[in-house]
């Protein structure tokens, strides 16, 4: 929402509904698309890897943003659902030889179905109490993969995930895979942006702000909460499937409890209730991760040799935790809130307050 740029007046409904309102916004958007197409050609393979990681994470973060930011269904088990999607598609491609693209959709739907099963408890609990069903979902996912369906998933040995191909074209280079993932992330992002300003999104926001009030207005809370759970976890499943098929191999260890908590934490760092919050949160997360990879060897040299062997694993935990805690203490509303303030003061430039 927010203020429109100075001097822009809507005279038609199409203008009122548009996401990109002014010529400048169109120009910036086209420039962004061009950069997305041109820049990867000059990027190193490590940067492409990072780009693919960020794009897939953005998809999952959009999902958790829909659940946490828009419907206030606290979700602390997202990694389990990401893993569900990844296992759905890799099992189908490995055992049945299905093409990647239908398998990816099936993986997303599997995660959504798992979300529906877990989400039925959302009828009775709300707010922070949702932590427990979702965390349970995460641990039950581990048990399902490692013990119950061991015959198909090969337990901790992991399972291969085939490289995607369509009409004879195989996405076997980093560059082509980046284009694929970025395109899907862009589509999912626009979809989410439009979803939250449709009837469904308005119902979600009503439930977030006051669920009893929403019910009195005639909104079917149970249906919309479950819908949020299904859609959000569908996003997570797609993200997991894309990442697993990029790496080519995965086991349940890919979807640890740390990732689960980071998804929720960086949603808050990014900003709840903003689609851009998912993007900011992901960028913050992954860039910070790169920073840790850069700093850890330096710290390893400084510290005495008795404990320097542990730095690799411990450094990430400590730095992530410290940065997120400092961020939450200083700006509990996240980066997106600052972004909104910046946009408003920019648009009202001479008279900003």
Partner 1 sequence: MATFIQLLVAGIAIGLIYALCALGVNIIYKSTKILLLAGGGLVLMPAYIAWVFVSWEAFPPALAIIVTFLLSAVLGWVLYRTTQHPLIGQPLLAPAICTTMLWFLLRGVTFLIWGGNPRMFPSWLAGRDVLHFGPVNIPEVTVVALVACALVVAVLMLYFKYSRGGLAMRVTAESHTIAEILGIKVRRVFGNAWVICLLLFAVAGILTGAITGISQDLDMIGVYGIVVALLGGLESFTGAIVGGLLIGLAQTLVGGYLGAKLGGGIAEVVPFIIIWLVMYWRPYGLWGLVRIERI
State the residues that interact with partner 1 by CB under 8 A.
74, 76, 118, 120-121, 124-125, 127-129, 131-133, 135-137, 139-140, 142-143, 146-148, 150, 210, 212-213, 216, 258, 261, 264-265, 268, 272, 307, 309-311, 313-318, 320-322, 324-325, 328-329, 332
Q: Whose Cβ is closer to partner 1: residue 51's or residue 119's?
A: 119
| Least distance (Å) between residue 163 CB and partner 1 | 31
Structure tokens of 350?
A: 């001479």
Q: Whose Cβ is closer to partner 1: residue 184's or residue 336's?
A: 336
| Least distance (Å) between residue 280 CB and partner 1 | 16
* Distance separating alpha carbons of residues 209 and 307, to the nearest angstrom: 48
| Least distance (Å) between residue 219 CB and partner 1 | 13
Closest residue by Cα to residue 60 from 221, 210, 219, 184: 184
| Least distance (Å) between residue 210 CB and partner 1 | 7
Q: Whose Cβ is closer to partner 1: residue 5's or residue 316's?
A: 316
Q: Whose Cβ is closer to partner 1: residue 99's or residue 121's?
A: 121
Contact by Cβ (8 Å): 252, 240: no
Neighbour count for residue 27 (Cβ, 10 Å): 11
CA distances from 23 to 8, 26, 81 (A): 11, 5, 40
| Least distance (Å) between residue 143 CB and partner 1 | 4
Positive/negative CA dihedral, 343, 345, 351, 353: positive
The angle that helices 221-247 and 174-195 make with each other, rounded to 10 degrees, is: 170
Structure tokens of 300?
A: 């390893």
Q: Whose Cβ is closer to partner 1: residue 33's or residue 325's?
A: 325
């Amino acid at each position: 929402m927010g203020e429109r740029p100075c001097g822009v007046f809507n005279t038609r409904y199409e203008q009122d509904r548009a996401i990109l309102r002014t010529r400048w916004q169109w120009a910036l958007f086209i420039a962004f698309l061009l950069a997305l197409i041109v820049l990867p050609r000059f990027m190193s393979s490590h940067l492409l890897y990072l780009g693919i990681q960020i794009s897939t994470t953005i998809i999952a973060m959009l999902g958790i943003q829909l659940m946490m930011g828009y419907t206030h269904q606290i979700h602390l088990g997202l990694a389990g659902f990401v893993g569900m999607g990844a296992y759905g598609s890799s099992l189908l491609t490995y055992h049945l030889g299905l093409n990647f693209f239908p398998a990816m959709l099936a993986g997303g739907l599997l995660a959504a179905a798992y979300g529906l099963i877990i989400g039925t408890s959302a009828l009775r609990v709300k707010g922070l109490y949702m932590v427990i069903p979702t965390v349970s979902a995460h641990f039950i996912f581990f048990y399902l993969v490692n013990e119950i369906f061991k015959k198909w998933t090969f337990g901790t040995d992991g399972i291969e995930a085939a490289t995607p191909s369509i009409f004879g074209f195989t996405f076997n280079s980093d560059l082509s895979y980046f284009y694929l993932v970025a395109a899907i992330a862009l589509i999912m992002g626009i979809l989410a942006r439009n979803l939250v300003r449709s009837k469904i999104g308005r119902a979600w926001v009503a439930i977030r702000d006051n669920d009893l009030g929403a019910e009195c207005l005639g909104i079917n809370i149970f249906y919309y909460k479950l819908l949020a759970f299904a859609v959000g976890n569908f996003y997570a499943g797609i993200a997991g499937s894309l990442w697993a098929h990029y790496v080519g191999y995965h086991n349940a260890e890919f979807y640890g409890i740390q990732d689960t908590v980071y998804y929720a934490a960086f949603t808050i760092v990014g900003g709840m209730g903003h689609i851009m919050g998912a993007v900011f949160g992901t960028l913050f997360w992954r860039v910070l991760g790169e920073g840790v990879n850069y700093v850890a060897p330096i710290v390893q040299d400084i510290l005495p040799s008795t404990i320097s062997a542990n730095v690799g694993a411990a450094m990430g935990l400590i730095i992530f935790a410290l940065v997120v805690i400092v961020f939450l203490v200083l700006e509990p509303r996240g980066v997106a809130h600052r972004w909104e303030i910046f946009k408003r003061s920019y648009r009202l430039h001479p008279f900003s307050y």
